[in-house]
């Protein structure tokens, strides 16, 4: 090797590997660039796999983002598929590669590891049955699709209500296959706060998805031919199924790095610095197997998502080829999933996650239309911003609803990149015209709510609060209250907000008042009135809309 023509070896074509390879080439025409991929395909659209099974993506070839031939022709990258790197010799700077029965050696000057992660498979009997499958690559996809395409497939079970599980449920419904969703946690999308996830749960029920939450698969039942015919759940339920998809998380593929003596970080991923270098500066790691700096905490964390993998791959490829690159920005874990007519996005910490990390956190939750309410087609979105009440810094956000979820999450993720506060959110100058937003965007509204709490103008109560024995005031109109009484309450005083000033004597000034309305806006006004009349008040966050999802 010379410094001008290093040999750069990349392990793994998905999860940032292809990004690393193509960036390295653009930085250095002279480098030798070799990419080993243990599977048959390199750089396929792994986020698109469920949609091909559901035939929302009609053509299989759409999934092949970059073929070996393409990478060869355009980037002179030597792609070797079906070639598994089985060990790294850092002393001799070689990797050993198994291809079929053959084992060869390949030297390197820089090594970029993008081994990704593998689906977790629970240690159950019959988990190897041909119709019990995980979804990680094209081979899995082809197998699942063949079963779905079969006229004999009458029902499916999806285990795990995370991103892939929910996408599969949606796509199986597209294919008219009745599906049961099983999740160990007592909620779908365990990455969200419980009450936010209830919106998705309701959407799934509305679409006739059978849900079993808070339980796990106890056994997979097979017929005599060894094909699975259903599952038995820990709650005793037996569910027949011709297809069982396991989407219960992934494990980072770190053994190659571990065996080579590279440092593994505190969360079990390959430790990296800001240039994606491992503890050996000539070896880089990117994608699902490595750790990034997680923005909300500043600590290393695994974030198995495609966006960071692609950005990290690009940086590692540049650094491997030139010795320098921009530092990898902290990652927020920003993610989104569409579930039928509802989307759920998140970035950073949820309230529950903040609590688990002993991080002081408060949250502001608003329910609002995604664009001007007077313009047709406005869809409801629920937005929660989680923040540190001492520094006012944004820690995270969740958004669930119809259109415009992705925009709000991206805006808040951007503010978090700059360690922004809720005051920053309140001052953002966002694009407004009736088809796109409101003069006061949902992001502003959430920031206003948080600011009011920081300014001690108002206090909020979680929507799942125990209200028994409390003085609860519902300030909606009589018609609204009749249509949808506030859930989880034993006694409620009804005074419409517009009559409150004249009917203060109906409240006991010696006792605190918990105020609720439909979504929290009128309760805010009522709280301000009552507080200035000497009452101790608290606003029930999200009003009847949020609470009645729980009770």
Q: Which residues are catalytic?
A: 47
Among 41, 314, 384, 476, binds a second copy (CB under 8 A): 314
For the chain, the residue count is 551
Least CB distance from residue 497 to a second copy, whole Å?
Answer: 6
Q: Which is nearer to a second copy, 146 or 457 (CB)?
A: 457
Per the CB < 8 A criterion, the answer to whether 477 and 495 are in contact is no
Q: Tell the smallest beta-carbon distance from residue 124 to a second copy (Å).
A: 29
Counting contacts by CB under 8 A, is residue 73 touching a second copy? Answer: yes
- How is residue 99 written in tokens? 């291809």
Residue 26, number of CB atoms within 10 A of its CB: 13
Q: Which residue has the tokens 């593998």?
A: 118
Q: Burial of 143 by CB count in 10 Å (0-12 exposed, 13-18 middle, 19+ buried)?
A: middle
Which of the stretches 141-149, 230-238, 278-286, 523-531 binds a second copy when contact is defined by CB under 8 A? Answer: 523-531
DSSP 206-252: HTT-EEEES--EEEEEE-TTS-EEEEEETTS-EEE-SEEEE-S-EEE
How many CB atoms lie under 10 A from the CB of residue 389?
A: 14
Q: Any idea what the Cα angle at residue 513 is, between residues 508 and 519, rounded to 5°?
A: 140
Q: How far is the CB of 203 from a second copy (least distance, A)?
A: 15
240 vs 300 by CB, closer to a second copy? 300
Q: Which residues lie closer than 8 Å to 55 by C-beta, 6 or more apart?
A: 171, 174, 175
Segment near a second copy (CB under 8 A), from 5-13, 199-207, 226-234, 303-311? 303-311
Residues 82 to 111 in contact with a second copy, rule: CB under 8 A: none
Least distance from C-beta 440 to a second copy, angstroms?
A: 6
Hey, which residues between 177 and 216 contact a second copy (CB under 8 A)?
Answer: none
Quote the least distance from Cβ 17 to a second copy, whole Å: 13
- Judged by CB under 8 A, the chain residues 16 through 35 that form the site for a second copy are 26-30
Token couple for 431: 């694009």
Tokens of 70: 């393409």
Residue 386 forms beta bridges with which residues?
A: 363, 396
Closest contact distance (angstroms) between CB of 47 and a second copy is: 5
Among 85, 133, 189, 309, which residue interacts with a second copy (rule: CB under 8 A)? Answer: 309
Collapsing DSSP to helix, strand or coil, 259 comes out as helix
Least distance to a second copy, CB of residue 119, Å: 18
Interaction residues for a second copy, span 393-432 (CB under 8 A): 406-407, 409-411, 413-415, 417-418, 420, 423-424, 426-432
- Residue 308 contacts a second copy per CB under 8 A: yes
User: Kind of pairing, strands 102-107 and 94-99?
Assistant: antiparallel
Strands (E) in 38-155, as ranges, are: 78-80, 84-89, 94-99, 102-107, 110-113, 117-119, 132-134
- d(CA 481, CA 40) in angstroms, rounded, equals 60
Q: Tell me: does residue 543 bind a second copy (CB under 8 A).
A: no
* Footprint of a second copy on 327-386 (CB under 8 A): 328-338, 343, 345, 347, 372, 374-376
Window 254 to 293, contacts with a second copy (CB under 8 A): none
CA distance 415 to 385: 12
Q: Which stretch binds a second copy (CB under 8 A): 181-189, 225-233, 528-536, 543-551?
A: 528-536
Q: Identify the residue among 58, 100, 123, 469 touching a second copy (CB under 8 A).
A: 58
Q: How far is the CB of 212 from a second copy (least distance, A)?
A: 25
Range list of β-strands (E), 53-206: 78-80, 84-89, 94-99, 102-107, 110-113, 117-119, 132-134, 156-159, 179-183
Task: Pick the binder of a second copy from 310, 359, 459, 548 (CB under 8 A).
Answer: 310
**C-beta of 218 vs 410, nearer to a second copy:** 410
Which listed residue (40, 103, 439, 478) binds a second copy by CB under 8 A?
Answer: 439
Q: Which range of residues in 80-88, 184-192, 234-242, 441-449 is near a second copy by CB under 8 A?
A: 441-449
Residue in 265, 295, 401, 543 binding a second copy, rule: CB under 8 A: 295
Element (H, E) at 385: strand 380-387
Contact present, 225 and 242 (Cβ < 8 Å): no
- Of the pair 307, 485, the CB lying nearest a second copy is at 307
Backbone conformation region of residue 190, classed left if phi is above 0, alpha if psi is from -120 to 50, else beta: alpha
- Per-residue tokens: 532: 């200035």
Window 139-178: contact mask with a second copy (x via CB under 8 A): ------------------------x---x-----------
User: SS3 breakdown of the chain: % helix, strand, coil, rounded to 5?
Assistant: 30, 25, 45
Least separation in angstroms between CB 501 and a second copy: 7
Q: Which of 497, 515, 517, 537 binds a second copy (CB under 8 A)?
A: 497
Beta pairing class for 537-540 and 513-516: parallel
Query: Contact with a second copy (CB under 8 A): which of 3, 498, 508, 536?
Result: 498
Site size toward a second copy, by CB under 8 A = 90
To 10 degrees, the CA torsion angle through 441, 445, 446, 451? Answer: 130
We find the least distance from the C-beta atom of residue 211 to a second copy, in angstroms, to be 21
Task: Select the span of 82-90, 308-316, 379-387, 460-468 touching a second copy (CB under 8 A).
Answer: 308-316
The CA distance from 68 to 142, in Å, is 20
Asked if residue 478 binds a second copy (CB under 8 A), the reply is no
Does position 51 interact with a second copy (CB under 8 A)? The reply is yes
Q: Which two tokens stand for residue 168?
A: 């599969």
């Amino acid at each position: 090797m010379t410094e001008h023509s290093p040999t750069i070896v990349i392990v793994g074509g998905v999860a940032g590997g292809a990004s690393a390879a193509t960036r390295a080439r653009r930085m250095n025409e002279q480098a030798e660039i070799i990419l080993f991929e243990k599977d048959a395909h390199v750089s396929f659209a792994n986020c698109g796999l469920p949609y091909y099974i559901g035939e929302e993506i009609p053509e299989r070839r759409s999934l092949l983002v970059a073929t070996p031939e393409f990478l060869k022709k355009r980037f002179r990258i030597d792609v070797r598929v079906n070639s598994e790197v089985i060990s790294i010799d850092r002393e001799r700077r070689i990797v050993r590669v198994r291809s079929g029965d053959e084992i060869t050696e390949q030297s390197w000057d820089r090594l970029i590891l993008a081994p990704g992660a593998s689906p977790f498979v629970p240690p159950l009997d019959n988990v190897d049955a041909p119709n019990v499958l995980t979804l990680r690559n094209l081979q899995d996809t082809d197998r699942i699709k063949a079963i779905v395409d079969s006229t004999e497939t009458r029902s499916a079970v999806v285990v795990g209500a995370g991103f892939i599980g929910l996408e599969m449920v949606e796509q199986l419904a597209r294919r008219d296959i009745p599906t049961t969703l099983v999740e160990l946690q007592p909620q779908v999308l365990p990455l969200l706060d419980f009450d936010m996830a209830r919106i998705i749960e309701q959407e799934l029920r509305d679409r006739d998805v059978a849900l079993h939450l808070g339980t796990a698969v106890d056994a997979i039942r097979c017929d005599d031919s060894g094909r699975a015919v259903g599952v038995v759940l820990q709650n005793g339920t037996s569910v027949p199924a011709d297809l069982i998809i396991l989407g219960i998380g992934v494990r980072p593929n770190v053994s190659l790095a571990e065996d080579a003596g590279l440092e593994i970080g505190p969360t079990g991923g390959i430790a990296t610095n800001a240039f994606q270098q491992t503890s050996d500066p000539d070896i880089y790691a990117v994608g699902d197997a490595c750790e990034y700096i997680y923005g909300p905490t500043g600590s290393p964390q695994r974030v198995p998502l495609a966006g960071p993998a692609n950005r990290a791959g690009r940086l590692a490829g540049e650094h491997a080829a030139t010795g320098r690159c921009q530092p990898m920005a902290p990652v927020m874990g920003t993610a989104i999933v569409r579930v039928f007519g509802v989307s759920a996005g998140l970035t950073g910490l949820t309230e529950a996650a903040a609590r688990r990390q002993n991080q002081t956190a408060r949250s502001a939750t608003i329910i609002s239309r995604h664009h001007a309410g007077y313009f047709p087609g406005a869809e409801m979105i629920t937005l929660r911003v989680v923040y540190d009440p001492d520094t006012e810094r944004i820690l995270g956000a969740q958004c669930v609803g119809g259109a415009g979820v992705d925009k709000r999450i991206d805006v808040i993720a951007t503010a978090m990149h700059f360690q922004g506060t809720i005051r920053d959110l309140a001052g953002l100058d966002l694009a407004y015209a009736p088809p796109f937003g409101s003069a006061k965007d949902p992001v502003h509204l959430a920031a206003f709510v948080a600011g009011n709490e920081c300014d001690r103008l108002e206090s909020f109560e979680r929507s799942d609060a125990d209200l028994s024995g409390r003085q609860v005031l519902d300030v909606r109109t009589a018609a609204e209250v009749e249509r949808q009484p506030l859930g989880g309450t034993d006694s409620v005083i009804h005074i419409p907000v517009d009559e409150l000033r004249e009917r203060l004597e109906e409240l006991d000034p010696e006792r605190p008042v918990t105020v609720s309305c439909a979504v929290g806006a009128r309760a805010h006004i009522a709280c301000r009135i009552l507080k200035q009349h000497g009452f101790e008040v608290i606003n029930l966050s999200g009003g009847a809309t949020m609470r009645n999802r729980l009770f």
